[in-house]
Amino acid sequence: MDYLKVEDGFNKVLGRKTFMPNDGTSPSSPMLHIVLSNDAALRDAIGELTRQCRIMRAIHARTGTPPLRDFSADFSGLSKIVVGQQLSASSAAAIWGRLSQAVRPFKAARILAMSEADLRAPGLSAGKIKTLRAAAQAVTDRRIVFSKLNALSDPDIISTLTQMHGIGPWTAEIYLLFALRRADAFPCGDLALQLAVQRVMKLDAQPSAAQLGDVSQRWRPWRGAAARLLWADYALQRSASRGPNNRGTSKKPL
């Protein structure tokens, strides 16, 4: 199965990706990450899931293979995720489209140079402006260096990103999932995932983030593929419940 992207500074070990710093130094111990590098890798991961879990098998029969999604693993990609916090996919896409047109090139220094009014014009809230500026300052100060950040383990990436204002576990986990394509990333605090799991597992109540984390252990090491299937099923069920005249208003993930 093809899980790997070949990138400078990376070596293959045991069929997984070993992250090595680009500065020529070696880490104290190798960090192995399975990466869903392309659609074929996602299909393979879903194949593993559907063989081991009848719930995933039933979802895949309904939804087919969902899109992999492709966010850049840099300041722009992180900013796109921040813009999408607590918004429907359509609203997030509209605001991001306007913002990415206004901020060219999309660099940290450019965000810091723009006025509050210029950042509000594309539709950003005051809170998201503050978050983007905090992230931009961290990049400018080199507290965040994406080439180094992206080589860390999943927990260390989450710990690093959540030190910034306005970036919580959900944002960090979505970065792992869509920018770095880590195969086992799973945002347990995502509302749509919680509701999807409640429905497919016939739970009496919506699971908490901690409870969803416990449930998701059965899908390791392919929780990233499981999340994509659950989102696809959630969107399908929402669309069906709204009927043909209102399908465009259904909330979907980024």
Q: Dump pLDDT digits (tens) for 94-112.
A: 999 999 999 999 999 999 9
Between the alpha carbon of residue 35 and those of residues 7, 77, 176, 212, the distances in Å are 12, 17, 10, 22
Domain count, the chain: 1
Q: Is the peptide bond before 105 cis (omega within 30 degrees of 0)?
A: yes
Q: Which residues, including other chains, have CB under 8 Å from residue 172's CB and lie 6 or more apart?
A: 157, 158, 161, 162
CATH number of domain containing 154:
1.10.340.30
Q: Are 161 and 180 in contact (CB under 8 A)?
A: no
The answer to whether position 223 is within a domain reads: no
pLDDT of residue 252: 52
Tell the burial category of 214 from Cβ atoms under 10 Å away from its Cβ (0-12, 13-18, 19+).
Answer: exposed
Query: 122 pairs with which residues across the strands?
Result: none
The verdict on residue 57 lying in a domain is no
Does 254 map to a domain? no
Whether 149 is in a domain gets the answer yes
pLDDT on residue 2: 39
pLDDT digits (tens, 9 = 90+) for 38-82: 999 999 999 999 999 999 999 999 999 999 988 999 999 999 999
- Residue 119's domain spans which residues? 75-179
Report the chain's terminal Cα–Cα distance, integer Å.
27
Q: Could you report the per-residue pLDDT of 161-201, keeping only the tens digit for each?
A: 999 999 999 999 999 999 999 999 999 999 999 999 999 99
Least confident of 31-40, 87-96, 226-235: 31-40
Examine residue 119 and state whether it is found in any structural domain, yes or no: yes
Closest CA to 230 of 205, 202, 203, 195: 195
User: Does a structural domain hold residue 165?
Assistant: yes
CA distance linking residue 132 with residue 75, whole number of Å: 9
Long-range contacts of 99-108 (CB under 8 A, 24+ apart): 99/123, 99/124, 100/76, 106/75, 106/76, 106/79, 107/75, 108/75, 108/135, 108/136, 108/137, 108/139, 108/140
Q: What is the pTM of this model?
A: 0.84
Model pLDDT, residue 239: 87
Residue 3 is predicted with a pLDDT of 38
Calpha distance 222→245 (Å, rounded): 35
Q: What's the helix, strand, coil split of the chain in %, to 5?
A: 55, 5, 40
Instruction: Establish if 158 belongs to a structural domain.
Output: yes
Strand partners, 17: 12, 33
Segment 211-235 mean pLDDT:
97
> Out of 16-30, 82-96, 128-142, which region has the weakest mean confidence (pLDDT)?
16-30
Query: Phi/psi class of residue 112: alpha, beta or left (left: φ > 0; alpha: ψ in -120 to 50)?
Result: alpha
Is 66 domain-assigned? no
pLDDT at 11: 30
